[in-house]
Amino acid sequence: MSSSGHVLVVNAGSSSLKLTVLGEDDSVLAEHHAERWHGETDPLERFLTRAPGIRAVGHRVVHGGPGFTGAQRIDAGVRAALEQLTGLAPLHQPRALAGIDAVTAVLPRVPQVACFDTAFHATMPAFAATYALPAQWRREWGLRRYGFHGLSHAYASRKAAELAGMADARVVSCHLGAGASLAAVRGGRSVDTTMGFTPLAGLVMATRSGDVDPGLLVWLLRAGVSLDELEDGLEHRSGLAGLAGTGDMRDVRRAADGGDQDAVLALEVYAHRLRQAISAMTTSLGGIDVLVFTGGVGEHDAVLRDDVVNGLSFLGIEHVHVVRAREDLEIASQTRAALAG
């Protein structure tokens, strides 16, 4: 790939679509952001017809499974392998595949690279990645903690360490958006995270439950809840939506300010679980030098940040930073490196 080529970054999230064309100096040449996107290809195709001089395309792909631990140039075999992983990330993987297909239709000769959210966490030690489940299950189905939001955590933790002037900083990175997770990062390497085998685990999210007692799920199944209903409930009707009736933190905050007690409780549950998880990540690091917030909620909800930080004063956190989510820069960097290699 020529060093002067423009890189199109396709970031298809669980509820949004971000398209960015970056120049060789990482300047933004064109961009489009749809806050509500459900996998349709028309907006992407319209953007691609007017995007200038694209020489490569980098895609955010949520799940790389055990086989993809670094950025990978996309061909038919890679695409098929990604589709096989859909069950592990049903909200995200179909959207990434839709983006890949749309780019292929409009720019069939431009090389595409898949950049994985799971890859950043491939450095976690075995004791942090292993579930205490029967060995046969773990071997047969590859059960382990993968972690997600790795592209965001990689960028935010590196940027926060730079801002703190600490190259080997112990950083707890908080990616808080529609999906939410934390990462414990030491010297630029992930050593622990809150999500697990799927993006359902960990923190309370917009519509996802986060951690729940596995025995409770077994109880619900035995009580007559179907597998499809259980999956839908955990993925789409839990989290803030289950507690306050909406998954939008801005609406929850406004309702709480207006005296809605369900919304008040939702904010308290969200912040409580977040403080717990930051403390756990700090334990994995043996201390904390830098706490960084990123993502839509992390960047824009100052009340939440203050509540969380004040509740963690016992940790003695010296550096707290807010970093704008720039997965596009991380994806562009990985795309160039993959094609140069």
The catalytic residue positions are: 117
Binding residues for substrate: 60
Q: Taking a C-beta distance cutoff of 8 angstroms, is the pair 174, 282 a contact?
A: no
Alpha-carbon distance 8 to 335, whole Å?
10
Q: How far apart are the C-alpha atoms of 185 and 167, rounded to whole Å?
A: 11
CB 94 within 8 A of CB 63: no
Query: Token pair of 44, please?
Result: 């992407």
Distance CA 153, CA 158 (A): 8
The binding site for Mg(2+) comprises: 327
Residues recorded for the chain: 341
Q: Which residue positions form the known binding site?
A: 60, 175-179, 248-250, 296-300, 327
Cβ neighbourhood burial of 135 (10 Å; 0-12, 13-18, 19+):
exposed
CA distance 322 to 302: 10
Considering just the CA atoms, what is the radius of gyration of the chain in Å?
20
Distance CA 95, CA 59 (A): 11
Q: Provide the 8-state DSSP code for 91.
A: T
Distant-in-sequence, close-in-space partners of 279: CB < 8 Å, separation ≥ 6:
312, 315
Please count the other Cβ atoms lying within 10 Å of the Cβ belonging to residue 139.
Answer: 9
- Which of 315, 296, 303 lies closest to 11 in space, CA to CA? 296
